[in-house]
């Protein structure tokens, strides 16, 4: 059954955009199933670099239909500016489909995201400020606005009223801000309806029919396993389920249809925003990883926190996602280190722990237990097969594979589409 999920195995920014784009040429549909424009997915094709936030990375492959599933939150103004940007560069975006059940990020959700973070002060999550959390909160609270609501003015007005009833009280009385005018919001949202209309579809039906016809469907996750609202480092997480199960709920496809789950895994670790990160480095090695790896956020431009590879996290990702494969990215960034430490377990309150602790307090205390692997100095960016890699790089990959619990089926040795070593075919 040709349905694949491709997701982040760490804290996001593992290289999902590149991996999706690589497969995009061979698949019929690429589907985003959660998150929104908090994501920043970079795709490099030849000398062209694209930064995608809301649109599935498959949009750059002409034969592929990009789909925004019901589990995604959509900011229409961001959507249009992303579409305009691609159209100006000659990319055809006319095939895009958007679920009528996807929720809309309204201007007040963006406001609430920003004021809440400010209010939290040093306890802040470090969100992207794009309104993601408040929009999912409205969805769960049953006061969300869906894409389909833009086509019924009376329903839309009632729903905006319901949502703003409580929010305006909070904004004015708690945060000392001005109330948001209902009619202005309704007018702005209605202004998006016509341009959005050609894309709106019953994506659940489309995708299930495609699967019945043996079409190949790729589900592209945003964020990563450790940012998952249920399985991540709560509360320092995003407000959706990037893990594999999210593909089923966020696209309306049953778990029996999913044939392969690919975890994108960086050869070291990064994180943006607040929250625990056991292998984080505060020395020149961390600085070097940031510099060589270009570790700066695609969405917010924030420096990413950097650290060594953490096998405990990789094993956890294998477990909660049922990973069948890993795509190891950015191996080239590690070229030049004489020795490379890899975290194989944690020490928590004097005890060695092999698996990710479920307790938040324990995870905050976790100290990495390192094993050191020999590095390599040869340029690996031209490697086309596993045997082209220097022996120590091969051994590094094999060691990670053994520790992480699923086969490494591809290796990224550079940002470009063709800077990839394919070991086992994904299709
Ligand atoms: P995503 O959010 O998972 O799609 O990842 P980002 O695009 O936020 O960050 C990954 C960065 O690494 C981007 O700048 C990519 O172009 C780059 N990248 C992806 N794979 C590789 C690789 O194998 N080697 C190198 N050097 N860069 C890569
Ligand atoms: P991609 O898809 C890395 C982080 C934010 C913050 C937390 C919550 O490019 O891998 P949110 O705005 O989602 O409520 O913020 O999640 N975060 C990401 N970190 N990559 C991402 O996306 C992220 N999307 C959100 O920094 O810590
Ligand atoms: Mg990113």
Number of the ligand closest to the Cα of 34: 2
3-class secondary structure for 49-104? EEEECCCCHHHHCCCCEEEECCCCEECHHHHHHHHHHHHHCCCCCCCCEEECCCEE
Considering the domain architecture, whether residues 24 and 92 belong to the same structural domain is answered as: yes
**51 CB less than 6 Å from ligand 1?**
no
Considering the domain architecture, whether residues 268 and 258 belong to the same structural domain is answered as: no
Q: How far is CA 233 from CA 259, 274, 357, in A?
A: 27, 10, 10
Evaluate whether residue 427 is within a structural domain. Answer: no
Q: According to the annotation, is 13 in a ligand binding site?
A: yes
Evaluate whether residue 255 is within a structural domain. Answer: yes
Considering the domain architecture, whether residues 364 and 374 belong to the same structural domain is answered as: yes
When divided into structural domains, the chain yields a total of 3
CB atoms closer than 10 angstroms to residue 263:
31
The alpha carbon of 16 and the centre of ligand 1 are apart by a number of angstroms equal to 7
Q: What is the CA radius of gyration of the chain?
A: 22
The pLDDT score that the predictor gives to residue 427 is 87
Helical ranges in 226-271 per DSSP H: 245-251
**38 CB less than 6 Å from ligand 2?**
yes
Q: How far is CA 402 from CA 241, 258, 312, 315, in A?
A: 27, 24, 12, 10
Strand segments, DSSP code E, in 237-357 are: 260-266, 269-271, 305-307, 309-310, 325-329, 339-348, 351-353
Considering the domain architecture, whether residues 78 and 119 belong to the same structural domain is answered as: no
Considering the domain architecture, whether residues 252 and 354 belong to the same structural domain is answered as: no
Q: Which helix (H) or strand (E) holds 371?
A: strand 367-374
**292 CB less than 6 Å from ligand 1?**
no
Evaluate whether residue 346 is within a structural domain. Answer: yes
**126 CB less than 6 Å from ligand 2?**
yes
The minimum-distance atom of ligand 1 relative to the CA of 411 is 23
Give dist(CA 415, CA 329) in Å, integer: 9
Evaluate whether residue 210 is within a structural domain. Answer: yes
Among 223, 271, 296, 329, residue to substitute to test ligand 2 (most atoms within 8 Å of Cβ): 223
Task: Confirm if 111 and 180 have CB atoms less than 8 A apart.
Answer: yes
Considering the domain architecture, whether residues 133 and 235 belong to the same structural domain is answered as: no
Q: Residue 248 is part of which domain span?
A: 3-98+200-262
Phi, psi dihedral angles at 406 (to 5 degrees):
-150, 155
The minimum-distance atom of ligand 2 relative to the CA of 273 is 27
Q: Identify which of 392, 390, 398 has the alpha carbon closest to the alpha carbon of residue 423.
A: 398
The CATH number for 26's domain is 3.40.440.10
Of 179, 194, 209, which residue is a domain's last? 194
DSSP class of residue 423 equals S
The pLDDT score that the predictor gives to residue 1 is 58
**3-state class (DSSP) for residue 29:** strand
Q: According to the annotation, is 18 in a ligand binding site?
A: yes
Evaluate whether residue 373 is within a structural domain. Answer: yes
Question: Which residues of the chain carry a pLDDT beneath 50?
Answer: none
The pLDDT score that the predictor gives to residue 24 is 87
**Any catalytic annotation for residue 103?**
no
Evaluate whether residue 116 is within a structural domain. Answer: yes
Residues 6+ apart with CB under 8 A from 20: 6, 30, 41, 43, 56, 57, 58, 218, 220
Of 262, 284, 309, which residue is a domain's last? 262
**105 CB less than 6 Å from ligand 2?**
no
Q: What is the pLDDT of residues 57-88, one digit of tens each?
A: 999 999 999 999 999 999 999 999 999 999 99
The alpha carbon of 16 and the centre of ligand 3 are apart by a number of angstroms equal to 8
Which of 41, 103, 167, 231 is flagged as catalytic? 41
Considering the domain architecture, whether residues 166 and 33 belong to the same structural domain is answered as: no
The CATH number for 173's domain is 1.10.300.10
**Any catalytic annotation for residue 41?**
yes
**294 CB less than 6 Å from ligand 1?**
yes
Task: Confirm if 423 and 409 have CB atoms less than 8 A apart.
Answer: yes
Of 194, 218, 251, which residue is a domain's last? 194
Q: Identify which of 231, 297, 243, 238 has the alpha carbon closest to the alpha carbon of residue 270.
A: 297
The alpha carbon of 415 and the centre of ligand 1 are apart by a number of angstroms equal to 6
Considering the domain architecture, whether residues 286 and 405 belong to the same structural domain is answered as: yes
Evaluate whether residue 278 is within a structural domain. Answer: yes
The alpha carbon of 271 and the centre of ligand 2 are apart by a number of angstroms equal to 9
**41 CB less than 6 Å from ligand 1?**
yes
Considering the domain architecture, whether residues 22 and 93 belong to the same structural domain is answered as: yes
The alpha carbon of 129 and the centre of ligand 2 are apart by a number of angstroms equal to 10
Give dist(CA 145, CA 139) in Å, integer: 8
Q: According to the annotation, is 17 in a ligand binding site?
A: yes
Among 227, 233, 280, 329, residue to substitute to test ligand 2 (most atoms within 8 Å of Cβ): 227
Evaluate whether residue 320 is within a structural domain. Answer: yes
Considering the domain architecture, whether residues 121 and 212 belong to the same structural domain is answered as: no
Considering the domain architecture, whether residues 238 and 319 belong to the same structural domain is answered as: no
Considering the domain architecture, whether residues 361 and 406 belong to the same structural domain is answered as: yes
The pLDDT score that the predictor gives to residue 235 is 96
């Amino acid at each position: 059954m040709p349905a694949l999920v491709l997701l982040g195995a760490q804290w996001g920014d593992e290289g999902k955009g590149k991996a999706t784009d690589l497969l995009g040429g061979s698949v019929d549909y690429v589907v985003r199933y959660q998150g929104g424009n908090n994501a920043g997915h970079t795709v490099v094709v030849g000398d062209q670099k694209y930064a995608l936030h809301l649109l599935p990375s498959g949009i750059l492959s002409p034969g592929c239909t990009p789909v925004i599933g019901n589990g995604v939150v959509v900011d229409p103004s961001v959507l249009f500016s992303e579409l305009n940007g691609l159209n100006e560069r000659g990319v055809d975006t006319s095939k895009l489909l958007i679920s009528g059940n996807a929720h809309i990020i309204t201007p007040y959700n963006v406001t609430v995201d920003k004021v809440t973070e400010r209010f939290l002060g040093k306890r802040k999550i470090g969100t992207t400020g794009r309104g993601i959390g408040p929009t999912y909160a409205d969805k769960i609270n049953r006061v969300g606005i869906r894409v389909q609501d833009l086509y019924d003015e009376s329903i839309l007005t009632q729903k905006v009223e319901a949502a703003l009833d409580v929010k305006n009280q909070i904004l004015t009385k708690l945060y000392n801000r001005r109330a948001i005018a209902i009619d202005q919001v309704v007018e702005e949202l209605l202004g998006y309806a016509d341009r959005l209309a050609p894309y709106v579809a019953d994506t659940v039906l489309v995708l299930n029919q495609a699967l019945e016809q043996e079409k190949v469907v790729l589900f592209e996750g945003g964020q990563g396993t450790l940012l998952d609202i249920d399985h991540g480092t709560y509360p320092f997480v995003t407000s959706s389920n990037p893990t594999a199960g999210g593909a089923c709920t966020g696209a309306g496809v049953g778990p029996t249809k999913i044939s392969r789950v690919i975890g994108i895994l960086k050869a070291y670790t990064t994180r943006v925003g607040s929250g625990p990160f056991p292998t984080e480095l505060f020395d020149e090695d961390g600085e070097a990883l940031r510099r060589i790896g270009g570790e700066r956020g695609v969405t917010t431009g924030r420096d990413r926190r950097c650290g060594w590879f953490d096998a405990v996290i990789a094993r956890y990702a294998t477990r909660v996602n049922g990973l069948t494969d890993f795509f190891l990215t950015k191996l080239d960034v590690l070229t030049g280190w004489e020795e490379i430490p890899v975290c194989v377990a944690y020490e928590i309150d004097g005890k060695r722990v092999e698996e990710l602790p479920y307790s938040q307090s324990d995870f905050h205390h976790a100290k990495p237990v390192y094993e050191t692997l020999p590095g390599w100095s040869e340029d690996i960016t031209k490697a086309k097969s596993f045997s082209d890699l220097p022996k120590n790089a091969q051994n590094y990959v094999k060691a990670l594979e053994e520790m992480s619990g699923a086969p490494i089926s591809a290796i990224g040795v550079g940002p470009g589409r063709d800077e990839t070593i394919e070991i086992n075919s994904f299709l």
